[in-house]
């Protein structure tokens, strides 16, 4: 099978409330294939240099509850490369009720004062999912701030 690469993003800012964990972006494979996460990115628009850092978690999601489109807003899945084909991949942003079951892959503190991070997984170390599972980015901010995020991934 040829490689098919995709991306999705929050397509704008997602507001974080102080002290509340919020899934801001997620993507899910379909019943025929999982996903191979190649890259993730996040940034904040904080304006206070003394602000405490935001806990950012990249997580594996089974989506036992609240799959993309349930308690969230759909996000566009863009094909970046490979043969054009229907993917059945779903993405969403800004969950109002957290999806389950989540397993942490990365946990990092990022400065909300114009903080940003783009991370490319090393070749051969990219996490992948089972069919119908996916990945999410969840943030917990000590003070209100807006975030933007994105994923790049392939069919697995």
29-85 pLDDT per residue, tens? 999 999 999 999 999 999 988 999 999 999 999 999 999 999 999 999 999 999 887
CA angle 34/110/135 to nearest 5° reads: 10
- pTM comes to 0.95
* Radius of gyration, CA atoms only, the chain: 15
What pLDDT was estimated at residue 84?
86
* Residue 84 φ/ψ, nearest 5 degrees: -70, 125
- Looking at the chain, the whole-number percentage of residues with pLDDT higher than 70 is 99
123-144 pLDDT per residue, tens? 999 999 999 999 999 999 999 9
Closest by alpha carbon to 148, among 116, 107, 108? 116
* Residue 153 φ/ψ, nearest 5 degrees: -155, 165
What would the mean pLDDT of 101-110 be, rounded to a whole number?
97
Mean pLDDT estimate for the chain: 95
* pLDDT exceeds 60 at position 1: no
CA atoms within 13 A on the CB side of 135: 28
Using CA atoms, how far apart are residues 61 and 137, in angstroms rounded to an integer?
10
Residue 12 φ/ψ region, left for φ over 0, alpha for ψ in the -120 to 50 degree band, beta for the rest: left
User: How many domains are contained in the chain?
Assistant: 1
Interior/surface letters 36-56, b for 16+ CB within 10 angstroms, e for the rest: bbbebbbbbebeeeebebbeb
**Domain containing 76: what range?**
5-155
What pLDDT was estimated at residue 86?
79
Domain CATH code at residue 140: 2.60.120.380
Q: Which residues contact 12 (CB under 8 A, 6 or more apart)?
A: 148
């Amino acid at each position: 099978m040829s490689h098919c690469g995709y991306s999705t993003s929050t397509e704008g800012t997602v507001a974080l409330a102080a002290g509340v964990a919020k899934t801001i972006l997620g993507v899910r494979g379909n019943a025929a294939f999982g996903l191979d996460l190649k890259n993730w990115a996040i940034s904040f628009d904080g304006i206070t240099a003394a602000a405490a850092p935001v806990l950012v978690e990249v997580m594996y999601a089974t989506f036992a509850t609240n799959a993309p489109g349930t308690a969230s807003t759909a996000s566009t899945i863009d094909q970046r490369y490979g043969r054009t084909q229907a993917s059945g991949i779903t993405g969403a942003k800004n969950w109002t009720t957290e999806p389950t079951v989540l397993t942490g892959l990365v946990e990092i503190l990022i400065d909300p004062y114009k903080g940003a991070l783009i991370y490319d997984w090393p070749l051969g170390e990219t996490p992948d999912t089972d069919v119908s599972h996916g990945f999410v980015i969840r943030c917990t901010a000590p003070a209100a701030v807006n975030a933007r995020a994105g994923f790049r991934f392939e069919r697995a």
